[in-house]
Structure 1
Amino acid sequence: MSCSACAAAVERICKRVDGVEHAEVNLVMNQATIESEQPIAIETYNEALQKAGFTLHEIHENKEINLQINGMSCSSCSSAVERVLNRMEGIEQANVNLLTNSAHIVYDPKVVKVSEMLHAIKKAGYEGSIPKNQEPHIETKDRVNLKIYVTLALAAVLLYIGMSHMLGNIELPLPAFIHYEKNPVNFALIQMILATLILIIGKHFFINGIRSLVHLAPNMDTLVAIGTGSAYLYSWYSFITILEGNMHGVHGLYFESAGVVVALVMFGKHLEARSKQKTYGAIQALLSLRPTTTVLLKNGEEIVIDSSEAMIGDTLLVKAGEAIPLDGVILEGESSVDESMLTGESMPLDKHAGDSLIGGTLNLTGRIQMEVTAVSEDTVLSKIIKMVEEAQGKKAPIARIADRISLYFVPTVMVIALIASISWFIAKQDMTFSLTIFVSVLVIACPCALGLATPTAIMVGTGKAAQNGIFMKSGEALETAGSIDTIVFDKTGTLTMGKPTVVAMESSDKKQLLALASAAESGSKHPLSIAIVKAAETEKLEIPKAEQVMTRNGLGVQAMYQDQPLLVGNRRLMEKQQLSTKAYTEIETQWQNKGYTVVWVAYGKAVLGLLAIADQVKEESHEVIENLLKQNIDVIMMTGDHPRSAKTIAVNIGITHVIAEVLPEGKGEEIKKLQSQGKRVAMVGDGINDAVALTQSDIGIAIGSGSDVAVESADIVLMKDKIEDVWTAVRLSRAVMRNIKQNLFWAFFYNTLGIPIAAGILYLFGGPLLNPIFAGAAMAFSSVSVVSNALRLRYFK
């Protein structure tokens, strides 16, 4: 595939295959994702696609590896090793080469590990090892660069010779033996040789372009092939007339147009490919986090192994300054771990025995032993990489508009070129002029810019989001996030910390109040009890030991301390014990109006005081809500809490619209009600009870530290436990959409302006005629400019 018209054609052909439910083609990744009712053989697709000049290759999960084999002395040795390897489950093919002492193995890494292969080779009496990487891709890259620069050098010489007599009063100096007046045959011959060499190097344009045209699926290659091919063939006609003695035939040579246009298009595609490569930066950056080797602790020995060979349950040693190879838990030691590459959180986290570790993060200070809990595609890093790849492969709705246009664009351009050239020939009776028009229209109307406008911006945008700890699951999510007008926030754990905290105390002796309350509550797992005990620990109070602790359902806790009754609970518990509550009733009412939970504490025969407990609002909540409201986004808080408590918290952070006392199953219905009012709704949540609402909303945003169900149900995952990333996601989405619209505008504007100029509209009114060479340069520039504009998103903050 070379342009969006190709991608659209592949998509259309795949959808026609019986049993296919959905097909989506990604031009940037050169991939197609196909969903079918039942398995369909790859040959079925290829039969349909090859008629249009395309070939489909299935992406296999198999890996390939070359192993060095020592100890082989004859063909029976190599046969023995080959036989041992081919018998192993998971090895698809093993070929052993005696001359190079190596084995090339195709295997399924899920079934068999390299270490098992090496063990099998050793059991057979030989020594196997993994050779150092040869990095063959460098050679390929150098060869491509050489090919491009050779083509450009030939084109520069061709352009100099071909244009030497076309600059009006200025005449470029040429040696006499190739001068157009002194030796016109050599003048034409040298151009023909140079142009032919360039066209041979760029033969893929002609092979792909003509094949696509024959199968009625024209693409960008078709435009280049027909345009430059016409100029080349017409130049041959002029060359033959020169050989026959027509010296004026030198003015009908278009070898330089054919050769230089092909060279420029090749160079443009080369720059485009390099620019596109930069858009893979996010995935490459994530892949680079994976350490290639690690230290395995086995029977007291330290063994350096390939990270991919580690298994669940293995014990690994990670020293200070090394990357953590895989997900796991600390068995021994403690350290600070930098997780910023995954979460964007700049502060390192202190990790102790029992704490979890994420593969790819950096161990900063201590030497630790860890147990592997996840390998290969089950690690957090692998899941994130897969999420980013899938997001960059899925099309946003706006991309489909460009695809549909591209589908009809190439045939339309070919018709315009044909009509324009025939019209000018009828008007001027000048074949050379008519050919110039034909070639210029075909070459300038490249649909590449149109096809690249959306996917490159989405690829860079999702990559940039990933760097900020925001994972977009699809291009559609990225697009939709910028168009929402209503955001519904779950309260607990999203706008608030999700953990009750002691926020106020009322007593003549607050330390005694907190210490005695903790004594009664220290054995309980109730969230309010935990909050009271944690407050005492924060104040570094010594917690007394209470006796005869007993829970009073619906009232609180009753205990004995130093032979005196100790009560911790609500006002009804105090009144049941006939204790006076008058002194604190007014304070209780004030706190309840603020949405606090009030806990009474009594010791002996008197009430000691009150504790106010509340789920504290996250510090950044107020600023995020303020920013969203400034952008005319309606903000709603949804909670299962009592309306009075909910309203108090909402007002505190600037939210005026509250939906309270909502059961988990009712959250999805509340989202539906908002959508029925014509609102585009985003839901932000972190719990299992938010899953239905996250799925129902136009865009679901899950806090990464929340439940797995919430993360799976959401369209966007915020890896950091910071809701300001909701605002960042909205801003990034808008920046990407703005970038896409700029790209589409310039792609459309370029073609709208370029095609009429190439068709001779300016010349009709006394203006200049567009030379095919400049048309080729403009075409290459348009694609590069679109990709370069998308790359500006890398500087988003």
Structure 2
Amino acid sequence: MLHLALIGGSLLYAGYKSYKERTDKRKTAITVIDPTDNTPEQSLATTESVLDEELKDAKHYLTVSTGALGLSVLGTVYPVLNAVVVPLVLYTTVPLFQAALKGLFEEHRLRASVVDSIAVIGTLSTRYYVASSLAVSLFFLAQRLLLATEDNSKKQLISVFGQQPRSVWLLREAVEVEIPFESLRIGDVIVLNAGEMIPIDGYITEGIASIDQHALTGEAQPVERTVGDAVMAATLVVAGKICVMVEKAGQQTVAAQIGEVLKRTANYRTSLEFKSTLLADQMALPTLFLGGVAFASLGVISATATVSCNFSEIIRISSPIGMLNFLKIASEQGILFKDGRSLELLHQIDTVVFDKTGTLTLEQPHVGFVHCWGNATENEILRLAAAAEHKQTHPVAKAILQAAHDRDLTLPPIDNARYDIGYGIKVNIAHRCVRVGSSRFISNEGLILTTEMEAAQHHCHDNGYSLVYVAVDDSVIGTIELHATLRPEIKTVIQGLKKRGLQLYILSGDHEKPTQKLAQEVGITNYFANTLPEGKAQLIEHLQATGKSVCFIGDGINDVIALKKATVSISLKGATSIATDTAGIVLMNQNLSQLCYLFELSDGLNKNMQNSFAAALIPGAVGLGGVFLFHFGIYSTILLYISSMAAGGANAMLPLLTYKDKDATLDD
């Protein structure tokens, strides 16, 4: 027996040295980068290293505790083996004892680790060697499984956009040559066929294709792309064949930038982890008190069972998995979280503020009323204006061309076009000089605006409309009103947000009357007009000062300050601007259709985390009640721990099943 005790003591000492080495290694992983460097890259590298070390520790301690469990089972037949079991169990719980001592003597507070330490000592002192080794084995098994699941969930989240190919087909002197992907250079032209993933950012030089952009932007349907159109990495050629000139490759692509954002987001640990630790620490004193009562009234075994009913550690491990799964679901639908905190905070939002231009309205306006001055008809005015603008790509030209297309107008040929940027265009059509542009352009060309035209201009200005003048030779024959185009999905979105009981506001730099009219049209009562960029941020702060939790949705450069001030910020800029976007959440499909779904995801996360708490607290409460009412013993609490562990793990994975059908509906 003495010989075995010496062996056990040696094992415990060797184990402690091993633990110190592992602790030092983890500290090295944390401080290998300058701790004063708070860049995302530093945070990312540190968190990944710590997770790797935690997983290695869990594997190591699981191996040791499993060995102790096997020896303890044999110890029921050969009791001398328990002299080895005890130091092995103590070795696996060295971190626990160290945390308890640190809390007591350095932090001067009672931590949950004190209760857990007493539970370990209690099971060993009562000679429940099998129970003691089984408990630590189950703990490290749960920790290993949950940490491995967290690691796998991170990898799945980050790999939403697929992997780069090993080789590509390069077009060289009209011949397709297969080369390694790493050999690609900016300016190279590669050939892509149906079924192939686009590995770079670039633009099409030849061909036409149907491209599935769902993984990158969340768009449900493939889009047609042809010569001159941009394409992005991680999108799929569904049909057709295209030649693409390389603009960005590797880590420079939009997909790679999004991947880096997801890596940083995946490392966000929810505040519920802190809450679970805090709750466990707060329960330490009541648990010790109940353990003392149990010891005095029921004996040492019941006291040990009582202090063993603290399962809060499960929350700390399982909560990140639930968060990661929700982030993965969002990413697959084209919703990118640049900060995991935003998903958690969305549940607290009670006020949503929309920027008007570019958020509630589209960039491209539409033709409203056509004023005819003289004998020209509406169709004639639109036909001449569209002919003059047909090679232009700015929103005004697109709006006029769309109106002409809707009326099936045939455009005449033009020649000698001259375009003054920001003012207008001058062309010759059928030996007549046609001018299309602003009132300033028309005046600069020496044409006279009548009193009636100026009155119409003032009316349009007051209502937020733009006017495009059309003149033939020396006379203005008509003006075209351009109205802001509401997003087609906006009214449905507003109704959905109202059903959630959210207060809605509009911020606009536009005049009072057009802002009021738009607010009435979409069904929003509260609005602020004539707002300068810095004024938007001040209004956000004012709403917050009145106790509101504000989500601001904008897309322009003048929204940056307001986006930063809001509790949660959402941008519609899309995937191509992800590197410079300041918002915490980016809707990569550039529309608001998924806004209500976004709030639903946040509610789902909140409910999931509440269930995680219940999965830990309810079995613990049942255990405490069972000890005093039904004389539960140590093995009963172990059984409850198993049920708590299973419930916590299942709840963390539940979102992948719950939202699967909803995602399919969104895709449809």
TM-score (structure 1 length as normaliser): 0.65
1:337 is aligned to 2:205: no
Q: Is residue 411 of structure 2 the alignment partner of residue 532 of structure 1?
A: no
CA contact (8 A) 2:312 2:617 kept: no
AA at the equivalent of 1:724: S
**For 1:773 and 1:379, how far apart are their aligned partners in 2?**
56
Q: Which residue of structure 1 aligns with residue 385 of structure 2?
A: 517
Distance 2:315 2:137 in 1: 21
Give the AA of the match of 1:660: A
1:303 is aligned to: 178
1:612 aligns with one of 457, 481, 484 = 481
The equivalences for 1:625-644 within 5 A come to: 625-644=494-513
Change (3 A) 1:666 1:219: closer
Asked whether 1:365 is paired with 2:239, we answer yes
- Alignment partner, residue 780 of structure 1: 642
| CA 337–569 in structure 1, closer or farther in 2 if over 3 Å, else same | closer
Match of residue 339 from structure 2:
474
Report if the CA contact (8 A) 1:635-1:657 is conserved: yes
Deviations 1:538-589 (A, max 9, x none): 64522342669697998x7777655656565678969x9678786x999889
Q: Give the Cα–Cα distance (whole angstroms) in 2 for the partners of residues 707 and 742 of structure 1.
A: 37
Match of 1:389 in 2: 263
- Partner Cα separation in structure 2 for residue 550 and residue 392 of structure 1: 50
Where 2:316 maps in the other structure, the secondary structure is helix
Distance in 2 (CA, whole Å) between partners of 1:723 and 1:348 is: 19
Residues 19-168 of structure 1: matches in 2 within 5 Å?
Answer: 36-37=35-36
The one-letter amino acid paired with 1:359 is A
Within the candidate set 339, 342, 351, 1:486 is matched to: 351
The equivalences for 1:635-674 within 5 A come to: 635-674=504-543
Measure how far apart 1:362 and its partner are. 1.5
Structure 2 residue aligned with 1:697, among 556, 566, 573? Answer: 566
Deviations along 1:730-767, one digit per CA (max 9) or x if unpaired, are: 2211221222233234434444453x336x4x2xxxx3
Count how many residue pairs are aligned between Structure 1 and Structure 2: 609
| Counterpart secondary structure, 2:488 | coil
Q: Is the 8 A contact 1:511 1:541 kept in 2?
A: no
**Structure 1 letter corresponding to 2:648:** V
CA gap of 1:676–1:153, structure 2 versus 1, over 3 A, is closer
2:77 aligned with 1:190: yes
* Structure 2: distance between partners of 1:738 and 1:277: 23
Amino acid at match of 1:769: H
**Which residue of structure 2 lines up, in the alignment, with residue 322 of structure 1?**
196
Aligned ranges for residues 719-734 of structure 1 at < 5 Å? 719-734=588-603
For the Cα contact (< 8 Å) 1:331–1:368, is it kept in 2?
yes
Structure-2 separation of matches of 1:422 and 1:153: 27
**How is 1:245-644 mapped onto 2 (pairs within 5 angstroms)?**
254-269=128-143, 271-273=145-147, 276=150, 279-280=153-154, 282-283=156-157, 285-286=159-160, 289-297=162-170, 302-305=177-180, 307=181, 310-407=184-281, 412=285, 415-416=288-289, 419-420=292-293, 422-424=295-297, 433-434=299-300, 436-452=301-317, 454-505=319-370, 509-521=377-389, 527-536=395-404, 539=408, 541-545=410-414, 562=430, 566=434, 568=436, 595-601=464-470, 603=472, 608-644=477-513
Matches within 5 A, 1:759-774: 760=627, 762=628, 767-774=629-636
Q: Would you say the 8 A contact 1:579–1:605 is kept in 2?
A: no
Instruction: Provide the secondary structure at the position in 1 that maps to 2:363.
Output: strand
- The AA in structure 1 aligned to 2:483 is A
CA deviation profile, 1:325-351 (whole Å, cap 9, x unmatched): 233333443322211122221211222
Deviations 1:634-672 (A, max 9, x none): 222222222222222222222222222223333222322
**277-286 or 349-358: which moved more?**
277-286
| Cα shift readout 1:23-71 (whole Å, capped 9, x = no counterpart) | xx9xxxx9899984479xxxxxxxxxxxxxxxx98968xxxxxxxxxxx
TM-score, length-scaled by structure 2 = 0.76
Which residue identity does 1:705 align to in structure 2? G
Inter-CA distance 631–552: structure 2 relative to 1 (3 Å threshold): closer
Q: CA separation in 2, counterparts of 1:526 and 1:325?
A: 30
What amino acid is aligned across from residue 685 of structure 1 in structure 2? G
Instruction: Report the RMSD for the aligned CA atoms in angstroms.
Output: 4.6
Q: Aligned partners of 2:35, 2:647: CA distance in 1, in Å?
A: 38
Confirm or deny: 8 A CA contact 2:419 2:425 kept in the other structure: yes
Pairing of 1:685-764 with structure 2 (within 5 A): 685-705=554-574, 708=577, 712-754=581-623, 756-757=624-625, 760=627, 762=628
Return the offset for 1:270.
5.1
Contact map agreement 2:620 2:640 (CA 8 A) in 1: no
Contact 1:294/1:316 (CA < 8 Å) preserved in 2? no
| Separation of aligned partners in 1, 2:485 and 2:221 | 22
- Distance, in Å, in 1 between the alignment partners of 2:563 and 2:241 is 41
- CA distance 1:589–1:33, shift in 2 (3 Å): farther
The 1:757/1:271 distance shift into structure 2, 3 A limit, reads farther
Aligned AA for 2:255? Answer: L
Indicate conservation of the 8 Å contact 2:551/2:568, yes or no. yes
Aligned twin of 2:93? 206
- CA contact under 8 A between 1:640 and 1:663: conserved in structure 2? yes
1 CA distance for matches of 2:528 and 2:47? 50
SS for the counterpart of 1:370 is strand
Provide the C-alpha distance between the structure 1 equivalents of 2:246 and 2:263, rounded to a whole number of angstroms. 25
Deviations 1:428-448, CA, capped at 9 Å, x for gaps: 7xxxx41x1243134321331
Alignment partners' CA distance in 2, 1:36 and 1:201: 35
Find the aligned partners of 2:640 and 2:353 in 1 and give their Cα distance: 47
Do the aligned partners of residues 690 and 200 (structure 1) sit closer, same or farther apart at CA in structure 2, a change above 3 Å counting? same
- Counterpart contact for 2:69–2:134, Cα < 8 Å: no
Structure 2 letter corresponding to 1:303:
E
Q: Residue deviations 1:269-317, cap 9 Å, x none?
A: 4554465456436425426x11441225386563353x45655455444
> Residue 518 of structure 1 contacts residue 536 of structure 1 at CA under 8 Å; is this kept in 2?
yes
- Cα 1:199–1:473 change in 2 (3 A) is farther
Q: What is the distance in 1 between the residues matched to 2:451 and 2:159?
A: 63
SS at match of 1:789: helix
Q: 1:748 to 1:371 in 2, by over 3 A?
A: same
| In structure 2, C-alpha distance between the alignment counterparts of 1:231 and 1:659, rounded to whole Å | 67
Corresponding residue for residue 546 of structure 2: 677
Report the secondary structure of 1:444's partner residue: coil
Whether the 8 Å contact between 1:516 and 1:544 is mirrored in structure 2 is no
Native 8 Å contact 1:335 1:364 kept in 2: yes
